[in-house]
Copies of this chain bind each other. A is one copy, B any other.
Amino acid sequence: RIMRPDDANVAGNVHGGTILKMIEEAGAIISTRHCNSQAGEPCVAALARVERTDFLSPVCIGEVANVSAEITYTSRHSVEVQVNVMSENILTGAKKVTNKATLWYVPLSLKNVNKVLEVPPIQYARKEQEDEGRKRYEEQKLDRLETKQRNGDVILPVINPEPHTVGYSQSSLIHLVGPSDCTLLGFVHGGVTMKLMDEVAGIVAARHCKTNIVTASVDAINFHEKIKKGCVITISGRMTFTSNKSMEIEVFVDADPFVDEPRERYRAVSAFFTYVSLSKEGKPLPVPQLLTETEDEKRRFEEGKGRYLQTKAKRQAQMQQAAQ
C-alpha cells in the first residue's frame, strides 16, 4: 500500500513500526490460510516469534510498500513464514529491498483458544530445505525457552534526570486495546504490539539525541503471553547501549486485564530495538554517549555492547562470504 503522512516521522521516513505491522499482517494471513487448508477445526494463527530483522533502507511517504510472504517450514504445531518488503517509488520506478523477516506462528482453535492445533505439512522441493528448516526450528525453540526466564525487570521512574542518562530518555505509553487491534480470537495482533513498541523506542531515541532518527534493526521478539481485548497495555522503553552511531533501546510490554478479570499485571513481550540518527541528507550522525549511573545500567550497557559486537562480527563474516 501507499505510505501516508501519518506513517512517517517529521523527516518523511516511514516508521519501522508501520513496516513491522504490515509484515505481521501478511504473515498472519498466509499462515492462517495454510492452517485452515485441510478440513478440521477452524483456527487462527497467532504470532509466537519474530526473528531479528534489519531495516536495509528507509521508505518515504508516497512510496508503495510491496509485501510478499511464503511458508518456508512447518513443524507439528508451528509455521515459519518468510516475508519480504520492497519499497517502490512509483514515479521513478526505483525498487529497493526494505527488509526480510522470518516469523513463527502457532494455530489456535477458534472454539477453544487455549488449544494448539496441528499444522498441515508442506512439501519441500529438496530434502535439504526441510533439514535447514528443522535446524532453524530447534534454534528458535531454545531461544524462546531462554527468554521465558528473564522477565522480572521493571523500568522505575527517575525524578529530575540529567541529559543523556538512562532516566532522561526513558518513556512509557499506555494503550487501551480496542477491537481493531485484535484478531478474530479477541487477542491483540502481534503487529499492533510491535508498532507500539517501535513508537516508544523511537521516542526514547529522539529524546536522547534530539535529531531525526530511524529504526535500524529489531532483535528477535518472543510472544509468550497473549493480550486480550479491553486490557490496558503499558509499553516502556529505556536506552541500554550506545555505539558511535547507534543506540540500543530495550522495550517492555506489560498487560493489565483490569476489568472483569482478577489477574495481575504481567509481562507480555520484551525486545531490543536499534536506532540510528540521520542528518537532513540522510547520512548517519554521531550519537551522544549514554551516561550510565547505577550498577544495573553499567551491566546492561556491557551486555548491549556484547550484542553489538556479535552482530557486527556476524555481518562482517557474511560480507566476506558474499565477496568470495
Contact = CB atoms under 8 A, between A and B. Distances in A.
A261 B43 CA distance: 11
B110 A26 contact: no
A288 to B, nearest CB: 13
Interface in A33-85: 33, 36-37, 39, 42-44, 61-62, 64
A23 to B, nearest CB: 13
Contacts of A90: 29, 32-33, 36, 203, 206-207, 210
Given A157-B157, A206-B91, A229 B10 contact: yes
Interface string A168-195: 0001111110111000100000000000
Interface residues of A, number: 60
A193 to B, nearest CB: 15
Nearest to A60: B10
A149 B61 CA distance: 37
A323 interface: no
B110 A29 contact: no
Interface stretch (A1-9, A129-137, A140-148): A1-9
A202 B91 CA distance: 12
A25 B176 contact: yes
Given A210-B259, A230-B184, A91 B42 contact: yes
Contact of A4 (B2, B6, B33, B200): B6
A180 B32 contact: no
A260 interface: yes
A260 B28 CA distance: 15
